[in-house]
Each structure stands twice: as C-alpha cells, then as structure tokens.
Chains A and B, each alone.
Chain A
Amino acid sequence: MAFSLPVGPQHPIHPEATLIKIEVEGEQVIDADIDVSYVHRGIEKAFEYKTYAQGLYLAERICGICNVAHTTCYAINIEELAGIEAPTRAQYLRLIVEELARIHSHLLWLGLLAHLIGFESLFMLIFRDRELVMDLIEAIGGNRVVPAYNVIGGVRRDIDNALAHKIREALGSLKERVKRYRRVATEDPTIRARTVGVGHLSPSEARDLLAVGPVARASSIKYDVRADDPYIAHAEVPFNIVVYDTCDTWGRMMVRIDEVLESIDMVLYALDHLPSGDFRVKVPPIFKLPPGENVARVEAPRGELLHYVVSDGSEKPYRYKVRTPTLANLMAVREMLRSRGGKAVYVADVPVVFGSIDPCICCTARVLIVDERGQARETTIDELARMRW
C-alpha cells in the first residue's frame, strides 16, 4: 500500500521551496521525483538588461552561499571575452577569497547535515566556528556573506599585512576545530549510523548521471575543475584532490571536511606567496564587448559551475546562461532517493540524501525543458549553443 508523500514545497529540510514527491510504502521510499521550479526568479532574463559591470552584482545574488564562485566565474568570463588581463596579485587575492568562501560553504553544509540528522549540538557548534570565517570575509570584502570582492579587471581591495596576520591566526584556530569535527564525523556512532551506506551512488552511475563536485568525488571520480582546467591562480597554488570511494553520504561528508582542510592550506600558501603589484586594472564602468561568445568554468563549493555569455557588440549581453552544479547533481539525487537493488531508502534518509548533494535550488532554477508529454530532458552545452537558449 504505497502512498505519495510530498516533501515540500514547505518543509523544514528545504532552505528554498522544492518539491520532492516520494512514493512511500511504510517507511521505505520506492520512487522519487523532484520539482525545482518554485524559485525561478528570471535572473537570466535580468542579465540581458544590465551592463556587464552591473551584471556582476546580479551574478553575485544568484546564490547566497556560493556568491564568490559566481562572481569569479562571471569576472573571468567577461575578462576572457573582452581581452582584459587581471594582474597576478589579483588572481591570488581572488583565490584567497574563493577558498574562504568554499570553507564557509562547506562548514554551513556540515552544520546543516548535522541538523538534518538531528544532531542540533553539532549544528550550533559548527556555526559558531564558521563565524571565524565570516568575520574574515567581512574584514576582506565588507560584508559577511556577499563580499563583492571580484570586479572585472581584478579585485576591489587589497589585503595588507595586518589583515593577512588576522587571516593566518583565524585559520590556524579553525584548522584545529575542523580536525576535531573530522574526528567526530569519523568516530561518532550515531553520525555513522545515519550516513554510512545512505544515498548510494556507484561510480558508473555517477558518471552516467553527470554528478559533479563532492558528490562525484565521493564516488571515486577524480574530477576537479581547479586541477583539470585551472583558472585564476590555481595552476600555481598546489592542492590535493580529495577523493573517497565509499559512494555514500559519509563519503561526501568526509570529502567536504577534507576540502576545508585543503582550502585552509591553500589560503595560507597563497598568503605566503602573494606576488606584489597592482590588484586591479582600470576598466571603464560601462563598456562594450566585441561580439562573440565565451564559456567559463569554476569549481564552486558544490561542483562545476558554468557561465556562458553571448555578446552582440553592445554594452549589455545578448544572452547569459548559468549552469549550476546542483542542476547536474539533481538527476543523481533522484536515483539515490529510490530504493533499488538491495539498498532500501527510508523516509528518514530522504533529508540526509537530498542534503548530501548540498542543494542550492535558488541557483538551480534556470531553464529546464519539460516536454508537453511530461518528460523532462537535459540539454547538452552544444545543443544550448546551437539553439542560443
């Protein structure tokens, strides 16, 4: 006797309005379907009415948590098309803020996962430690969540020695705390009971369903845009790609915790090797771009983020497309939510599995083509480019 249980659009597990319709038999989930159309804000349309410099601030507000990734991607996208070269000091500074944003996003996710499995104390404590990073971002950029640090042509402000010292101190104590959380995540029996074996995604499935980011890296797929297609200063700042082969939520949790530790090391390395020079190239506030198109990819905290711009020679873009990593992970999470093979998924696992991809639905609600017959299909980049959608 199966009935369908709508998890959403209003539900405590959803930071944004999403509908996960699950077919439930007793406590076991048999089927799942996801609807992300509730938060569509018309951002891609809004891009067409903003100049390139204004579009930067629109890109920043696509997502509250991964806003640095969006501005970085946008900035390098427009810079590549315009032929502007940001100075190396700016690239390093961009890397510092991008990695700090990754740290704060992963810590937020970790706290959220603790909340989803009912571990309120861990949630509160992690958020307290996340404040260290928020204070740093505020000191660097001017705002805790949306530092508005990247501009076309470089970064807005410099990091002087006093600020660098503050960053080193804060990151030093944060590293100890994160190591402690790593131990908790590895050893605590209730956390392990809720995350080990939950949300299974085999490597072949991950590859077929186009999972990106920590979801893919927890299924043994070694794919990180920072290493495969380096941007800003990632070619010069060394780091390890964190890969786990457990293919479950625990693996994704450990991937993100280890990525936080890697990011802390990257920021400290970048601070030590900061090249001197300018941090910004003067760019007129309103400028025209030559006609053409460009694609830029960055490694957002959630995975591979893609921006695509088509310019027709005016000061506003003709078309701007944003493909966020959560969109790529949605098909994967849908498979994960179904009880298949020998692995049963329980109602209690639904928030854990859905949360394990780090869903950022407000980023995601862009364009999904739904056939009139009710089937949704994903489009490829080439198809998008051909159709100019």
Chain B
Amino acid sequence: MYPEERRETPQGFRGRLSFDRNKCTGCRLCWRVCPASAIEMIKDEKGFRPVFHIYRCIYCYFCVEVCPTKAIRPTDAYENTVFRKEDLTLR
C-alpha cells in the first residue's frame, strides 16, 4: 500500500526541478520560455538569477531543455505538497 511502499519511478520521470546556482549564467532563457510564468528573475550580486515557483510549475521541463549550462536538472520527487508556499520556492 502506498505510504509504506513507494513505486520506483522510471528513468526520465519528470518530477520537481533542482537548480544548481553555480552553473547559472543569468541568460534568462528559462524565464522567457516557461509557459506557466513560474520563473521569476531577481538580481543579486552575480547578475540575474531565477526563482522557481514550483507551485505554479506544470513540470513540462521546457526550462530544463533550453538551459545552456544544464543548471536546471530533473529529479524524481513527486510528492510536492507542503503546508507553506515558501517551501515550494526554489532559489
């Protein structure tokens, strides 16, 4: 039964995104292509950085495809319910 046993997700499963800040160059391509407007661009000392609002994300992985440095990577996390919206914001 589900909570005790979890299914193995297949390879290539589209779960919640993961973001590696160090690889990001601030090209803003992910922000321009996101169909759900789930990516917000903020400016920090290194330049532009995306903030991912996972609660708006539709898991289409368009951003994963266009990122030139592969800073946005897929994971297989599919249990994405939280009590606070802030917990679903990826910086």
Interfacial residues, chain A to chain B (CB-CB below 8 A): 50-51, 53-58, 60-61, 135, 138-139, 141-143, 148, 156-157, 285-286
The segment out of B17-25, B41-49, B59-67, B82-90 that lies at the interface is B59-67
Interfacial residues, chain B to chain A (CB-CB below 8 A): 9-14, 29, 32-36, 58-62, 65-66
> A61 CA to B57 CA in the complex, in Å?
13
Min C-beta distance of B61 to chain A, whole Å? 7
> A165 CA to B35 CA in the complex, in Å?
34
A143 & B35 in contact (Cβ 8 Å cutoff): no
Which among A53, A57, A135, A141 is the interface contact of B58 at CB below 8 angstroms? Answer: A57
A53 & B12 in contact (Cβ 8 Å cutoff): no
B32 & A143 in contact (Cβ 8 Å cutoff): no
> A50 CA to B59 CA in the complex, in Å?
17
Which among A58, A138, A156 is the interface contact of B35 at CB below 8 angstroms? Answer: A58
Chain B contact surface mostly: loop
A54 & B35 in contact (Cβ 8 Å cutoff): yes
Which of B10, B11, B32, B65 has the largest count of A CB atoms less than 10 A from its CB? B10
B60 & A148 in contact (Cβ 8 Å cutoff): yes
B14 & A142 in contact (Cβ 8 Å cutoff): yes
Chain B residues positioned under 8 Å from A57 (CB to CB): 35-36, 58, 60, 62
B32 & A286 in contact (Cβ 8 Å cutoff): yes
B58 & A143 in contact (Cβ 8 Å cutoff): no
Q: List 21 A-B contacts (CB under 8 A).
A: A50-B35, A51-B33, A53-B62, A54-B35, A56-B35, A57-B35, A57-B36, A57-B60, A57-B62, A61-B58, A135-B10, A138-B9, A138-B13, A139-B11, A139-B12, A142-B12, A142-B61, A143-B13, A148-B61, A285-B62, A286-B33
Q: Report the nearest A residue to B74, measured CB to CB.
A: A142
> A169 CA to B53 CA in the complex, in Å?
39
Chain A residues positioned under 8 Å from B32 (CB to CB): 285-286
- The 5 residue pairs across chains A and B that have the minimum distance between CB atoms: A142-B14, A54-B35, A57-B35, A139-B10, A57-B60
A143 & B10 in contact (Cβ 8 Å cutoff): no
Q: Report the nearest B residue to A284, measured CB to CB.
A: B66
Which among B11, B14, B29, B65 is the interface contact of A143 at CB below 8 angstroms? Answer: B14
Chain B residues positioned under 8 Å from A55 (CB to CB): 35
A157 & B62 in contact (Cβ 8 Å cutoff): no
Min C-beta distance of A70 to chain B, whole Å? 14
Q: Report the nearest B residue to A138, measured CB to CB.
A: B10
Q: Report the nearest B residue to A147, measured CB to CB.
A: B14
Chain B residues positioned under 8 Å from A141 (CB to CB): 12
> A135 CA to B10 CA in the complex, in Å?
8
Min C-beta distance of B5 to chain A, whole Å? 15
> A56 CA to B9 CA in the complex, in Å?
25
A157 & B12 in contact (Cβ 8 Å cutoff): yes
Chain B residues positioned under 8 Å from A60 (CB to CB): 60
Min C-beta distance of A351 to chain B, whole Å? 30
Which of A56, A135, A148, A157 has the largest count of B CB atoms less than 10 A from its CB? A148
> A148 CA to B14 CA in the complex, in Å?
10
Chain A residues positioned under 8 Å from B36 (CB to CB): 57
B33 & A143 in contact (Cβ 8 Å cutoff): no
Min C-beta distance of A159 to chain B, whole Å? 11
Chain B residues positioned under 8 Å from A58 (CB to CB): 35
Chain A residues positioned under 8 Å from B14 (CB to CB): 142-143, 148
Min C-beta distance of A71 to chain B, whole Å? 11
> A53 CA to B61 CA in the complex, in Å?
12
Min C-beta distance of B73 to chain A, whole Å? 14
Q: Report the nearest B residue to A286, measured CB to CB.
A: B32
A143 & B59 in contact (Cβ 8 Å cutoff): yes
Chain A residues positioned under 8 Å from B10 (CB to CB): 135, 138-139
